């Protein structure tokens, strides 16, 4: 039985998506380092990028999937580093679970403060989210800015933030790999990362959509 909320809206769309997943499963090779639920996330990331290297580059905190399912089930807030993530997430799917998303990267006060302190907009955006109390129990989604991820890690270290889950997949050449490596050392806050330089908002969106599908399947089974 298909997921009603988190699948394509037409039979033709569903068939293409299911066929694509079948091809990924067939061509991906061994992926036994992942649990069944983790593979649902990695598979969707491969599906979105046609990049099989994410079978291996993707890593999960042991509690990541359950933490994500629990957070979405109670309608947690998603804080994104860039607008692209918020645009990519399906509004009908989010609203079904009572999930809202936020980004502050383009806010005037964020830009002004970044200029005043000679920091990045991403850093100030994360500070604004923290000041609004959005991190505690929320999901942090970083697909573009390593400085956003580093700031969240600093806030956690200072005891100012306790997210339910961090999806940390910034892409790039300056601090991207390093920021994800630091996130991967966290014990008390669950995380999902892509090792190295590869990442991006598309991957974060894919991972979150996979989590939404897992939540729907879980609720359907319980019902």
In the predicted model, is pLDDT for residue 1 greater than 70? no
Domain extent at residue 110: 57-222
Q: Is 38 domain-assigned? A: no
**Percentage of the chain modeled with pLDDT above 70:** 99
Task: Please report, to the nearest 10 degrees, the dihedral formed by the alpha carbons of residues 212, 64, 76, 169 taken in order.
Answer: -80
Q: Is 34 domain-assigned? A: no
Give pLDDT tens digits for 66-94: 999 999 999 999 999 999 999 999 999 99
In the predicted model, is pLDDT for residue 199 greater than 60? yes
Q: Is 11 domain-assigned? A: no
Q: Is 18 domain-assigned? A: no
Give pLDDT tens digits for 150-181: 999 999 999 999 999 999 999 999 999 999 99
**Which residue reads 């037409």 in tokens?**
10
Q: What is the mean pLDDT of residues 136-149?
A: 98
Residues in contact with 189: Cβ distance below 8 Å, sequence separation at least 6, in sequence order: 61, 156, 162, 163, 165, 166
Split at pLDDT 50, 70, 90, the class of 3 is confident
Structural domain total, the chain: 1
Across 4-8, 35-39, 114-118, 152-156, least confident range: 4-8
Q: Is 23 domain-assigned? A: no
Q: Which residues are catalytic?
A: 47
Question: pLDDT at position 223, please?
Answer: 66
């Amino acid at each position: 039985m298909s997921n009603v909320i988190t699948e394509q809206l037409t039979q033709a769309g569903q068939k293409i998506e299911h066929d694509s997943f079948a091809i990924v499963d067939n061509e991906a090779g061994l992926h036994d380092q992942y649990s069944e639920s983790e593979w649902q996330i990695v598979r969707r990331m491969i599906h979105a990028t046609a990049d099989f290297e994410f079978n291996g580059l993707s890593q999960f905190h042991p509690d990541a999937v359950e933490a994500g399912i629990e957070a979405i089930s109670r309608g947690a807030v998603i804080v994104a580093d860039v607008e692209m993530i918020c645009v990519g997430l399906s509004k009908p799917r989010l609203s079904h679970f009572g999930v809202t998303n936020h980004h502050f990267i383009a806010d005037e006060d964020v830009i002004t403060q970044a200029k005043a302190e000679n920091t990045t907009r991403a850093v100030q955006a994360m500070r604004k989210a923290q000041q609004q109390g959005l991190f505690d129990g929320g999901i942090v989604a970083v697909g573009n800015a390593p400085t956003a991820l580093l700031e969240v890690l600093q806030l956690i270290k200072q005891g100012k933030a306790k997210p339910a889950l961090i999806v940390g997949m910034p892409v790039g050449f300056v601090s991207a790999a390093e920021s994800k490596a630091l996130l991967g050392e966290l014990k008390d806050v669950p995380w999902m990362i892509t090792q190295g330089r590869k990442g991006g908002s598309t991957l974060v969106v894919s991972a979150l959509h996979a989590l939404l599908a897992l939540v729907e399947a879980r609720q359907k089974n319980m019902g």
